[in-house]
Structure 1
């Protein structure tokens, strides 16, 4: 196996992960038995010309390159693992595609650029801040200039990467880029961060990052507080303006109140950001923000952390390609020493890592000389980590993917009867392009237990880990996995995060940071858009009467359910109270006591009249009518109890009809009494023909006929549209009125109207008969009682229509009791007075005297 990668020393762990994977495979008898894998590592120097040259050297010769001519080389490349730089990898793919050699790319979405500052060593205490910035800028300009001299342009690679799936020989050992954008949005929404900044490079790849995020943000209600594009520099004449832009960005970051910033964390972007943060540390107050980094970023990739207080990155949240700790890798690292033959970079790395040198003859113990006893685990984390990073894990999987594909092809040829192993190996070496079908369909579980396979586009099917970076003053750090994004999981398990274990920047005192344009609108308020401002900036308006909002930042208030009503703060719905005239409340109890008391009085009066039924005063005014009237009044008082209590089907159907019929009997009895008085006077005249009408038959006929009409109306009502229990949730905001719906309201008013008609006729007849000679002036008493009766029911109608709920029922009950009590008092109290208190007046002699 051949491998071409920009072997920068800060990426030395990637080289070791490659060597470790090859060593594991060669030592595993179950994969490619009797076949030993090897590798070569080439440095592209981030230069297109050198990349093309080394790719051709890889294919044809170690020395002078002659196209399509391979003589004396022991190299038999069947696959190439590219580097993290998208532009370099695509240059390699251009050549490899011609010769059908598969390339398994470890490339981060086509957004990451090369490691320009791969070997810069500037002691912080030896240069000033301004000189430091100048050296950084100059070194970056030189590398960019070299790329331009080779005829390459940044927008070419950006376009190529966006169309990377069109290269059939190219496989990506990273998940689809769209998943990371989705993860960023889900992360922001999880913490309700709606006001965030975006930072990226001012090139085509950075522009794509910004435009894609802004589009997704707008779809999910997230606003972009600012968008900063780090400047690129390729002209020495523009250095001053370049540094001015850095200074302006420094001033902005130190003054803005935006707490969350999403960064496209490729190498150049993070270099520029570190320059800005260094400027802040020297001249301004520290910046405390939540940095949300893309999966490009890793502390171990940053060369200038020695000049920066990395506490500024404490609490950073970053995405990382999903990785699992590989057993045996830490031990493999511990066994490395300057004399191991793992690769050809170990001595160069050793000198830079431990700041020592290897003289021609090593002088053991001499100051500044490498002893070979130095330990990798003693190196600070930002320079070298003992645990496998996600980038190294991708390289590890890439090696295994190629090995598994080779093994599948080898097994396939063996099953088809290869003559001998040597012939088969030669065919394997000469037809590397035949590896593609096996690489596309490769699927295996690596030693860490993760399943590795590609989708139809040649992209790794995997997810992301969400890492919380915890830094310490000694420039050490911890990676804490706090969440994950798994595109293959069910919808509710695709994104998960554990808030409780996240460490935030000290500025936020371990409280979840807020990222809003303004304070939240509290429950009871709704958002009101500010003119001329982004939709994330708004005012808060109190909910209108009758509506509530029970969450923060609601777009609109809403009505409570019908059985609930808003509280005073308009942020909660309270259950409505049931409203009906209950026996347990004071009003209901009072009416019950009053009805029973009047019933008892009526029964007592009836008893008195029955006891003295043979006395002249009882016999004088039609005894049967008197009994009928008293019984009907007694029932009127008792029927009022049907109106008290929770409405049910039976009492709803009975209360109005029973009241109507009984009251009609009572009023008909009064009318009959009045008519009896008139007829009795007319019958006393000589030769009068009215004598035949005087008697109980006529009086009973009047009562029966008048009551029959009312009963017929009630029967029609109950047969067509009877009353029924109902609830009214609209009339009173805080109560549910439990009532009897009258069904046909017309029939109810027919009953009242008919009773009013009978009362009016009785009043008129009694009024004209009030001065007729009557022993006990009953006509006069009936006139007063009918006047009271009509007054009560005339005032009842507007009062009834203007009230709701139990008050409306109480008005009707009171009207029944008052009108009935008026009849009882006006008609029977004078007679009871004579019967009980003046019995001497209740005699025939007194009647004769009164007549004279």
Structure 2
């Protein structure tokens, strides 16, 4: 029955036909029909189908080279994809590989490197292992000790793995998470106390466990008497029961009646099968193909509906086999002759005595849709390599956190990238972001540069110290102006009040109150109405104030001229003319303000150019011509008033108000001349503060210089507030 090796071939391993002796009559008849029918077909065909249960090399999927090859074991390509998905799941991006110089290992390592690269996983090193080379072993040991990767893929066949682990026992290699290939990951006999530090927590994909109906009972009930000529069975019997079928002085005689159920070994562990299930599926798929072949009638395949080719051509029928075995396994092939890839993800959990429990912690199934092919079991205990209590970290470089950008370094692997902080004004809100995003104009990055926050608004507020201080000074100015008005009102009949033109004095005090009050309109959040009010109120009230001072100056000059013999100038600048001049000067400013507000009025504006990290809320001028026209008109009146007061500074003491006006206008002009460069260069809310300061300083200058000396005389020197005292200071007129 050696022809079964043509059907089920992997390194020339096959199930001995003698095992079938304990099958029931139906199963035995079925197996014999399969084997003899295939032998008959093989004699008449050149294209002989080959079905493997353990040949996993991905190269065998090439139908141009192997057109008749099929397998019930998954291709290594799927195992490699599963390993890559496993590493991706645990974010192991920096790994090492140890392999052997053999077709299985070399092909697997090459395929793994390609697939890993697609998922952004980098290989730090690839080291070949040889059973005979000490230099290679030393290189492996040194690399394992110095490498930064924590995950090591051991891609070897079982025999090479045994050799490698036996040599590694002599070296203290710890802290690594080992991943194994399907060829050795379920071989519990590899475990030992010495290898506990190496294999503890090892992971890998294994062929799925399955039960085969009847096979367990058959294996455990097997007796040497069932096949007296089988040397294999006799050898197994002698090994398990430490006896001999031949007379020997060192061993007891085997009776052949010993019970296999009393033996604990891999052979008697028949609860689940892995590779054996592939043999089971291979036999059944040939049977199903033959069944379809024998059922071809009327030239039509009953499964595919396609025309039947030569009845003896099994190959064509194997391609389209699709059935489910008694243990629930689905059997069919893709265009490459590969079956569905199913794996168990297993975890080595070593015990103190060196024994191991290989625990299934997940699965990988290519029949599931993308995203669901790889899955871990819920609430499963996983033991990690390196005696770690948590998932090991294996990356060349930790991910770039939000607030930085990821940049490739052409001199390093793709996993060994660089992280750079986002430039000012930009953010990155994702891990490993390749670029930094610019925040919208009204937003600015937070300190970590991982999100854009609304920029804080800045304006001169009543709640801050500067705003509160300026508000306080404005209120003090209003209070002092009101107090001065009360003093003047209660003493309006006294000579000093009458001599200084009481009507213009009261109008000037009123305009000073308005000047102090208009400074308050500059404080607070700018709005459409406040922007228009603050500039127009400032322009009109100051013109009213300067017009009154100008009127008082003209009155002083006219009064001096009126004392000269034959002079009649006072009738040209009496009370009516004084009122008219003040009204005229003020109306001119009103017209300028109306034109300004009509053509291009001031409006609230968010200034985002001066400061990058905050917004300045300010009042835009609208028309700069209107603003400077208002200031220029005030300046023109102030200069005119200063000139007239300066000319009248040497008048007799009776008219010394001209000196006070000169000082007040000197202060006024100095303040506003200094205001211009300060206003232009001051940033943000300080621009408004400078403007308020100029208003308050010039207003206080007028109030203090013009009215405080008179109030001092009225309150503290009442004896000087008499007509006789004022007249006594007039020198005798020379004839």
Q: TM-score, normalised by structure 1?
A: 0.68
Distance 1:306-1:617 versus aligned 2 partners, 3 A rule: closer
1:597 to 461, 467, 476: 476
Q: What is the distance in 2 between the residues matched to 1:376 and 1:719?
A: 110
2:388 to 509, 517, 528: 509
* Alignment match, 1:299: 186
CA apart distance, 1:658: 2.9
* Alignment match, 1:768: 647
- Contact 2:319/2:333 (8 A) holds in 1: no
Please give the per-residue CA displacement for 1:115-138, whole angstroms capped at 9, x wherever unaligned: xxxxxxxxxxxxxxxxxxxxxxxx
CA apart distance, 1:793: 3.0
- Contact 1:2/1:40 (8 A) holds in 2: no
Please give the per-residue CA displacement for 1:134-177, whole angstroms capped at 9, x wherever unaligned: xxxxxxxxxxxxxxxxxxxxxxxx4xx25247766555546676
Please give the per-residue CA displacement for 1:732-768, whole angstroms capped at 9, x wherever unaligned: 75xx344214154735455444444443333333222
1:739 to 607, 617, 624: 617
* Alignment match, 1:243: 133
Cα RMSD for the two superposed structures: 5.3
* Alignment match, 1:315: 201
- Contact 2:97/2:152 (8 A) holds in 1: yes
Q: What is the distance in 2 between the residues matched to 1:275 and 1:201?
A: 11
Number of corresponding residues = 714
SS in 2 for 1:378: coil
Q: What is the distance in 2 between the residues matched to 1:584 and 1:466?
A: 67
* Alignment match, 1:724: 604
1:68 to 38, 43, 57: 43
2:667 to 773, 788, 796: 788
2:62 to 153, 163, 167: 163
SS in 1 for 2:204: strand
Q: What is the distance in 2 between the residues matched to 1:839 and 1:829?
A: 14
Do structure 1's residue 257 and structure 2's residue 147 form an aligned pair?
yes
Q: What is the distance in 2 between the residues matched to 1:689 and 1:646?
A: 52
- Contact 2:97/2:155 (8 A) holds in 1: no
CA apart distance, 1:824: 1.5
Q: How does 1:399-418 map to 2 (within 5 A)?
A: none
- Contact 2:556/2:655 (8 A) holds in 1: no
Q: How does 1:446-461 map to 2 (within 5 A)?
A: 454-455=333-334, 457-461=336-340
* Alignment match, 1:435: 317
- Contact 2:459/2:618 (8 A) holds in 1: no
* Alignment match, 2:305: none
- Contact 2:348/2:357 (8 A) holds in 1: yes
CA apart distance, 1:504: 1.6
Distance 1:67-1:532 versus aligned 2 partners, 3 A rule: closer
Q: What is the distance in 1 between the residues matched to 2:587 and 2:367?
A: 82
Distance 1:327-1:487 versus aligned 2 partners, 3 A rule: closer
CA apart distance, 1:829: 1.2
* Alignment match, 2:548: 669
* Alignment match, 1:277: 165
Distance 1:752-1:214 versus aligned 2 partners, 3 A rule: farther
Distance 1:513-1:587 versus aligned 2 partners, 3 A rule: same
- Contact 2:461/2:523 (8 A) holds in 1: yes
Distance 1:693-1:229 versus aligned 2 partners, 3 A rule: same
* Alignment match, 2:245: 359
Distance 1:287-1:640 versus aligned 2 partners, 3 A rule: same
Please give the per-residue CA displacement for 1:420-462, whole angstroms capped at 9, x wherever unaligned: xxxxxx99974645635742xx376x77777766555554455
SS in 1 for 2:8: coil
* Alignment match, 1:632: 511
Do structure 1's residue 193 and structure 2's residue 92 form an aligned pair?
yes
CA apart distance, 1:648: 3.9
Q: How does 1:83-482 map to 2 (within 5 A)?
A: 98=47, 105-106=52-53, 110-111=57-58, 158=59, 161=60, 163-164=62-63, 170-173=69-72, 180-203=79-102, 206-218=105-117, 221-231=120-130, 242-249=132-139, 251-252=141-142, 255-263=145-153, 265-267=155-157, 270-282=158-170, 284-286=171-173, 288-300=175-187, 309=195, 311-320=197-206, 323=208, 326=210, 332=216, 336-339=220-223, 347=233, 350-351=236-237, 354=240, 356=242, 359=245, 366=252, 371-375=257-261, 378-379=264-265, 386=270, 388=272, 391-392=275-276, 394=278, 430=312, 432-433=314-315, 435-436=317-318, 438-439=320-321, 442=322, 454-455=333-334, 457-462=336-341, 464-482=343-361
2:8 to 2, 5, 8: 5
Show structure 1 runs of 5+ residues with no match. 28-34, 43-56, 70-95, 112-157, 233-241, 419-425
Distance 1:206-1:247 versus aligned 2 partners, 3 A rule: closer
CA apart distance, 1:314: 1.7
* Alignment match, 1:654: 533
SS in 1 for 2:602: coil
Distance 1:396-1:811 versus aligned 2 partners, 3 A rule: farther
Show structure 2 runs of 5+ residues with no match. 303-307
Q: What is the distance in 2 between the residues matched to 1:772 and 1:544?
A: 69
Distance 1:409-1:557 versus aligned 2 partners, 3 A rule: same
- Contact 1:274/1:308 (8 A) holds in 2: no
Q: What is the distance in 2 between the residues matched to 1:683 and 1:402?
A: 140
Do structure 1's residue 820 and structure 2's residue 699 form an aligned pair?
yes
* Alignment match, 1:137: none
Q: What is the distance in 2 between the residues matched to 1:489 and 1:631?
A: 90
CA apart distance, 1:376: 8.1
Please give the per-residue CA displacement for 1:50-97, whole angstroms capped at 9, x wherever unaligned: xxxxxxx98436xxxx9736xxxxxxxxxxxxxxxxxxxxxxxxxx87
Range moving further from structure 2, 634-643 or 330-339 = 330-339
SS in 2 for 1:598: helix
Please give the per-residue CA displacement for 1:252-279, whole angstroms capped at 9, x wherever unaligned: 3564434445536342xx4324323312
